[in-house]
Chain A
Amino acid sequence: MAMKRSGISQFWASILANSIYALGNYPAMMVSMFLTPFSILVVIFFVSHGTLLTVAIEGGLIMTMITSGMSLQTDLSHLKNDFKLQDMVVASPTGAGMYLFGMAISELVYSIPAIVVLAVLAILFTHLTALAWLILIAVMLAMFAFSTCLGFFISTFTSDVMESWAYTSIISTILSALPPVYYPITYIPMPFRYVAYLSPATYAAEIIQGASGFLELSSLSAAADWIVVIAITIIIGFVAVKKSRWREE
């Protein structure tokens, strides 16, 4: 007499435990949640005398998605190693995919204020076409899937949250320092531009900057960028589901 299990419950559990209850118990997290999206925006706005505001708003939206994955990695590593939650969930009917999905969405809860604020700014200042909006949302979703899968994958290998932080700074260099997310890629002088292309986020940024008219982007380049973004998302998604250390070796 197997019990009938509700997938919605399994999904909800992660959101409750990792974000809603946490926010309820640690109010400081709310404040940080509202502040984060402004930090970079303010810097870019002043440094560029306002000229890069619109690129930075779009960049902010992409970075919010990428940061979700990095936070997911740290949160999961903390839960796995300090509370042995992963072991408890492994020895239960919850599969890795469901756990990853619920936990990924729980990170999105923390990003809601950032997304709302940035979206309002985007509506006010960027004057995107409907197509550009669609492209922006698609790229955001791809970056979210990519970075949360990567974060999950790495977290299953960490044996301590300290180790997780080390990976976070490596990944944050690749995904947020290297790519021209907050400014057009043409701002990077030539030989260094190739380095920027090592980061998947560069392709995402290029697609959006092309769609919103900040960059002359041939349709061939746009297609190439899309192929890279989609391919890397699929590869990392596959790796996360197949190669994560759900059961330890």
Chain B
Amino acid sequence: MQMLTCKHISKKYEGDGYALRDVNFSVPAAGIFALIGRNGAGKTTLTRILATQLSPTSGSASINGIDVMSGAGSLREIIASVPQEARAINWLTPRQFIFSYLLWRGYGHGDARRKADEAARKLGISRFMDTASRKLSGGTKRKVLVATVMASEASVIFLDEPTTGLDPLSRSELWDTLSRLKKDHFIFLTTHYLEEAERLADRIGILENGRLMALGTLDELRGKVKYPYSIKILSDYSVAKPRKGNMIKGVDGFQQIVTTEDEANRISRELIKKGVRFSMNPLSLDDIFYYIVKKPLEEESYGDEKERY
């Protein structure tokens, strides 16, 4: 049995266009699944459908063999979610919030208290437990929410951008915690930090404009890319179209060529001759992401491209 299966999931918001179009995939086993994609790609929409918070317009999905629509009652017994825009309730302290959440899940008082303390320790927020949430920093508030669901017995956890707003150290600590947790949990997370997906995820899905563009382990994703080399043009210079490969606007706004190793060598010699500053590297996950998500430059004018960022 697959851990997660999505069959032809589409979502059209009332009066708006499609946020998801025929999304089809499955994730075989527990561990961490990371969904990446640009703003508006549909990550939150898909996460909410799987967490039984939103109905799909068509299609079906199941987690651990339980259908998210018809089996919602039993599925809700084993899931927990931190929505993208969730906030710890202003008038509660983290202790009160986590405690209430666990009571809502049906814990007895003693267990709820113990679990809340334990989770707070794991996420390094013990000393904030009795400070009103409204007085906490943004990142600490985020940690409170992650601690809240981690304190529970849920075996399937949805985290919609859990590390947004966390400082680099805290982020890395949360990664460690999630790595430990993934041994006996299924964690579905979305993120804009590709390094996070790279470090944590057993499988990565790339969503763009409501469509699943690619899915697999990091190695599988690398294997999907036709052109493993990247050249970034760092000067103000218009390069000619490569004989093989594509021109895209890269991560940092520079013109970028993705191509084969041979063609990369040829282009680099040309650029050196012309005195153009550039860098050449094998593709990183960032590059893979941009390669998969972005249309080749020639299909769009620069002006439009800029507006999309």
Contacts and interface: CB of A to CB of B under 8 A. Distances in A.
A12 B112 CA distance: 12
A156 B92 CA distance: 22
Interface in B43-84: 48, 51-55, 72, 76-77, 79-83
Nearest to A9: B103
A131 interface: no
A25 interface: yes
Given A9-B108, A13-B104, A93-B106, A88 B81 contact: yes
Interface in B80-138: 80-83, 85-92, 96-97, 99-101, 103-109, 112, 132
B107 A82 contact: no
Nearest to B106: A5
A contacts with B: majority SS: helix
Given A88-B81, A248-B48, A248-B55, A94 B104 contact: yes
A21 B91 contact: yes
Q: What band does the interface of chain B fall in when counting residues whose beta carbon is under 8 Å from A?
A: 35 or more
A11 B227 CA distance: 58
Q: What band does the interface of chain A fall in when counting residues whose beta carbon is under 8 Å from B?
A: 20 to 34
Contacts of B154: 92
A247 B83 CA distance: 14
B261 interface: no
B contacts with A: majority SS: loop
Contacts of B101: 13, 88, 92
Given A9-B112, A17-B92, A91 B106 contact: no
A104 to B, nearest CB: 15
Contacts of B106: 3-7, 9-10, 93-94
A248 B54 contact: yes
A249 to B, nearest CB: 6
13 contacts: A7-B106, A9-B109, A14-B104, A16-B96, A16-B103, A88-B81, A91-B51, A91-B79, A91-B158, A92-B152, A94-B105, A248-B48, A248-B53
Interface of B: 14, 48, 51-55, 72, 76-77, 79-83, 85-92, 96-97, 99-101, 103-109, 112, 132, 148-149, 152-154, 158
Given A13-B100, A16-B99, A88-B149, 12 more contacts: A3-B77, A9-B112, A17-B97, A17-B100, A21-B91, A21-B96, A83-B90, A84-B83, A84-B87, A85-B89, A87-B81, A93-B106
